[in-house]
Amino acid sequence: MESLIGQWEGETVITRYDRPANAWIFIAVYSTLLGPAAGGTRMKPYPDPRTALQDAMLLAKGMAYKYAIPGMPWGGGKAVIAVPDAFDPALRAGLLRRYGKLVHQLGGLFYTGPDMGTCSLDMNVIAETGAPYVFACTPEAGGCGSSGPFTALGVFTAIQACCKHVFGEASVQGRKVLVQGAGSVGGPLITSLLAAGAEVIFSDVDRDVIRHYRDERGVPFVEKDEIYQVECDIFSPCAGGGILNRNTIPALRCKAIAGGANNQLQAAGDGERLRVRDILYAPDFVVNVGGAMAVLGLETLKWSRDRAEEEVATTIGRALQRVFALAEKKDVSTEVAAEVIAGERLQAP
């Protein structure tokens, strides 16, 4: 872990071993140059604490780039709670309260909200001890509720931007869209895509989720290992990170990629790998800023929900146009172009 932290260009890492739950907590603060750090709390089992720390650091950097795109006055941060396999649900609330106390002790260095493995109900529990540094509690608890639908709206807008760029027409009507993960982002995305006349295929690993979309709603399903070979117009990764890599990219049969997952590219060269294959990649941190944008707007800027939707759609649509144009002009991958745009803002607040 020493070498991991030493090589990281972020500011701060907080480490806590929570003995009662046998869980590791890592809070990574990448940058507070533009404002206090804010980012979700990811809670899941990891193979070892080192991998969890690495995830927190990578995700925190992603958050800094994310905020830079719309120019939001927030810094990149992320928390990871690495719980044991088959974590006992009876230990969850206690762990979240102790975690909330830690967030509170940081006194505003790091604000948090939901991420993979946590939801608004968990935010309520964290806020018992962590308020006022906890976003996206349930409406009953005074929060704005799930950020998933707003992230999904941003992904939908990004898919339209890709259609416009590739096919000359923004409409998703009749386009074949492959959605990886039908959770809090992929789920509402599938609903919007179907309503707009797209042909949707999905993949997931959760039995209840599969039952809902495949069996109850009749959405075509593919097994997780087959997803990378499916021919489609748009591939939308809305599950885990690192899925675009040297093994999967050669197999892909899509024209464009736009999804809500964080850190979709596994390695530095993967953006270029997609470009060489003539697959238009909408960079993840541009596509998936909708959740954070809406939550922070609703809870710190008093935005209405209509305003939040409007901001998410226009910001992401415009940002992607800029990214695609710069990539073409400079003859670089869209990932590099987006990093250039975000990097300018990160260096010049």
Q: Does 38 bind ligand PPY (CB under 6 A)?
A: yes
Using alpha carbons, select from 189, 168, 146 the residue that is nearest to residue 287.
Answer: 189
Q: Does 292 bind ligand PPY (CB under 6 A)?
A: yes
Q: Which of 115, 311, 335, 339 binds ligand PPY (CB under 6 A)?
A: 115
Q: Does 291 bind ligand PPY (CB under 6 A)?
A: yes
Residue 174 φ then ψ, to 5°: 75, 0
**CA–CA gap between residue 262 and residue 195 (Å, rounded):** 25
Q: Does 265 bind ligand PPY (CB under 6 A)?
A: no
Residues in binding contact with ligand PPY, number by CB under 6 A: 14
| Residue tagged active-site, from 78, 101, 255, 330 | 78
Q: Segment 131-170, which members bind ligand PPY (CB under 6 A)?
A: 135-136, 147
Annotate 157-197 with DSSP letters as a single string: HHHHHHHHHHHS----TT-EEEEE--STTHHHHHHHHHHTT
- Whichever of 113 and 149 has its CB closer to ligand PPY, that residue is 113
Neighbouring-strand partners of residue 82: 24, 44
Neighbouring-strand partners of residue 13: 28
- Whichever of 39 and 271 has its CB closer to ligand PPY, that residue is 39
- Whichever of 11 and 284 has its CB closer to ligand PPY, that residue is 284
Q: How far is the CB of 30 from ligand PPY (least distance, A)?
A: 12
Residue 244 φ then ψ, to 5°: -100, 105
334 membership: H or E segment, kind and range: helix 334-347
Q: How far is the CB of 276 from ligand PPY (least distance, A)?
A: 28
The length of the chain in residues reads: 349
224 is an active site residue: no
Q: Residue 29 is encoded by which pair of tokens?
A: 């603060």
- Whichever of 160 and 262 has its CB closer to ligand PPY, that residue is 262
Residues annotated catalytic, as ranges: 78
Binding site for ligand PPY (CB under 6 A): 38-40, 63, 113, 115, 135-136, 147, 262, 288, 291-292, 295
